Amino acid sequence: MGRSRASQEFRPHFRPEGHFDRTAAHKPILVLENVLKVFRADAPVLRGVDLTIERGEFVFVTGPSGAGKSTLLKLIYRAESVDDGRILFCGRDIARLTEDSIPHLRRNIGVVFQDFRLVPYWTVYENVAVALEVMGLQPRVVRSRVALALERVGLDGRGDERVSVLSGGEQQRVTIARAIVTEPAIVLADEPTGNLDPVLALDILGLFEEINEAGTTVIFATHDRTLLEVSPRRLVVIDDGRCIEARKGLEGLGDALEHRALN
C-alpha cells in the first residue's frame, strides 16, 4: 500500500536545514547506549539502559509503576534529556539537538498517551490536522491526509464532531490518528489503553498492530498483562533502572508484574 511505503522510507529533518542522511535507512531506528536519567540524586530512574530497536519492530515496554517507562519515552521525544549516555534516532544523537531542532525531531515521532491530550474544544478534524498544519502543509494535502488517517482508525466521516463529546475509546482513536497522520518513522504509546475497558484495550492494541504491519515502528508501554499475553511481541522490562529482554515465555515477566501488584 502507498502509505506503508511512505512510512518506511525515512525522511528525517531534525534540523531546520534538514540534511538527508542516506545511511540512516540502514541503521537501527533507535539505539539507547548506557542511558542515565536522574531526578533525585539518591535514586536514578534509569541507570545504564542499553536498548536497540530495529526499523519496523513492535516492542512492548513494561515494568512496575514508577520504573521509568514514561521517562524512557520522554527521553526519546526529547521532553526530557539524558544525564549521560546516548540516544541515537536513525543514527543521530538526539541528546545533542538544539532547542530549535526539537520540533523537527518530534515531527518524525508520533506519541499517544493514556490521557489522550486532545484539545477538547476542537473538532476531531482539527485535532488531527494540527500535526500537519505545524509543518506548513497545503490545506488540500492536510484534508486528504487527515481523511486517510481517520479512516485508518475507524473514524471516517466523523471529523466535524467535537472531541469532548466522544467516548474514551473514540478519543484514543483520534490521538492515534494524530500520531500517524504525519506518517512518522516511529510511534510511541504510553499506556494508551490505561483508561479503557479490557475489550476496548484489545481493539486499540489491534490498531497499533495494524499500524506496525504497515511499516511503522511501535514502542508500546503498558503494564496490562492481558495485552502482553495476547500479543507475542518483543518485550522489554524496565527493572531497577535497566532494560531486560523478557520474551521467550513470560517467566521473567511474572516477578516484575508481581512487584507492581503490591504497590
Q: Do 111 and 78 meet the contact criterion of CB atoms below 8 Å apart?
A: no
Composition of the chain by helix, strand, coil, percent to 5: 40, 20, 40
Residue 135 Cβ, how far from ligand ATP at the closest point, in Å?
A: 28
Residue 225 Cβ, how far from ligand ATP at the closest point, in Å?
A: 13
DSSP string, 209-259: HHHHHTT-EEEEE---HHHHHHS--EEEEEETTEEEE--SSSHHHHHHHHH
Q: Which is nearer to other proteins, 119 or 230 (CB)?
A: 119
Task: DSSP letter for 66, please.
Answer: T
Binding string, residues 107-146; x marks residues near ligand ATP by CB under 6 A: ----------------------------------------
Residue 192 Cβ, how far from Mg ion at the closest point, in Å?
A: 11
Q: Which is nearer to other proteins, 104 or 162 (CB)?
A: 104
Residue 7 Cβ, how far from ligand ATP at the closest point, in Å?
A: 26
Distance CA 192, CA 65 (A): 15
Q: For the segment 52-111, give every residue that binds ligand ATP (CB under 6 A).
A: 63, 65-71
Q: Which is nearer to ligand ATP, 139 or 254 (CB)?
A: 254
Question: Where do the DSSP E strands lie in the chain?
Answer: 30-37, 46-53, 58-62, 84-89, 92-93, 109-113, 186-190, 217-221, 234-239, 242-245
* Binding of residue 71 to Mg ion (CB under 5 A): no
Residues that bind Mg ion (CB under 5 A): 70
Residues that bind ligand ATP (CB under 6 A): 39, 45, 63, 65-71, 223
